Amino acid sequence: MKHSSLLAKAVQRFGSPTAEGNPQRILDAALKQFELFGIRRSTVEDITRRSGLARVTLYRNFANKDAIVEAVLLRELERFLSELAAEAGSYAEAEDKLVEGFVFTLTTMRDHALLQRLLATEPETVLPFLTVEGAGVIQTASSFLAHQLAVALPDDKRTQIELLEVAEVTVRVIVSFVLTPSQNVALGDDDAARSFARRYLVPPLLGLTG
């Protein structure tokens, strides 16, 4: 399954109950294994050993390593979307939703152990997801963000197309800064990111430049 399809599936499953019991234990073990050694260097045996479960139990829940990888990535995406929605939902104004959502997303991606491990040691597994094959990811992420913003805006304030435009710009800015940190734009901490978002992302959202 392509990464863009995974993100779309995560959005569709948004709010659904997460796995419990042995599946959760296996995914926890796999995530830790991938964070420490990457996906390519990890085997089913490594994950089985780290989980403390019998190999037959692992195969009863996941057919192979690819199925485990997909489940881990899907769970991480669902977790991120849930936490992003909760963060945005704690603010009443669309301006604050956009600003704090930007800060939260930028910080989360920079601090995400698995994402940073893959970018550092096996970028071929994640870079296509954010670059040449990223159209579906951008579209799905933009739609999700646009929906979060629409909740706080009157119907006559911004059209759906305008919200999608603002959301897409925001998503592309985040991806760009995660993949290629700027030497000129200071986004090293939350306050700097917050200031950037208020200066460059909020005006188009609220129509303050027109």
Dist. CA 167–CA 170, nearest whole Å: 5
Which helix or strand (DSSP H or E) is residue 89 part of? helix 65-89
Q: What is the tally of structural domains in the chain?
A: 1
Rounded mean pLDDT, 95-118 = 93
User: For the ranges 37-41, 69-73, 141-145, 158-162, which has the lowest average pLDDT?
Assistant: 158-162
* Per-residue model confidence (pLDDT) at position 182: 77
- 163 to 26, 150, 155, 168, 169: CA distances (angstroms): 39, 7, 11, 8, 10
Per-residue burial over 38-74, b = 16 or more CB atoms within 10 Å of its CB, e = otherwise: bbeebebebbbebbebeeebbeebbeebeebbbbbbb
Segment (H or E) for 50: helix 44-51
Residue 50: both structure tokens together: 């780290």
Report the CATH number that the domain containing residue 48 is assigned in CATH. Answer: 1.10.357.10
Domain assignment present for residue 210? The answer is: no
User: Is residue 163 assigned to a domain?
Assistant: yes
Binned at pLDDT 50, 70 and 90, residue 20 comes out as: confident
180 found inside a domain:
yes
pLDDT, tens digit (0-9, with 9 covering 90-100), for 120-136: 999 988 888 788 778 88
Q: Tell whether the model's pLDDT for residue 210 goes beyond 50.
A: no
The answer to the question of residue 193 being in a domain is: yes
Residue 56: domain span: 3-203
| Cβ neighbours of residue 23 closer than 8 Å, sequence gap 6 or more | 61, 62, 71
Q: Global pTM?
A: 0.86
Higher pLDDT, 77 or 183: 77
DSSP 181: -
Q: Is residue 209 part of a domain?
A: no
Q: How far is C-alpha 204 from the geometric centre of its chain's CA atoms?
A: 23
Question: What is the C-alpha to C-alpha distance for residues 137 and 142, in angstroms, rounded to an integer?
Answer: 8
* pLDDT interval class at 209 (50, 70, 90): very low
Task: Quickly tell me which residue has 């071929």 as its tokens.
Answer: 124
Both structure tokens of 83: 């936490």
Q: Is residue 191, in this structure, part of any structural domain at all?
A: yes
Q: What is the pLDDT of residues 26-73, one digit of tens each?
A: 999 999 999 999 999 999 999 999 999 999 999 999 999 999 999 999
Please name the residue that has the structure tokens 């609220």.
206
Q: Give 104's pLDDT tier (boundaries 50, 70, 90).
A: very high
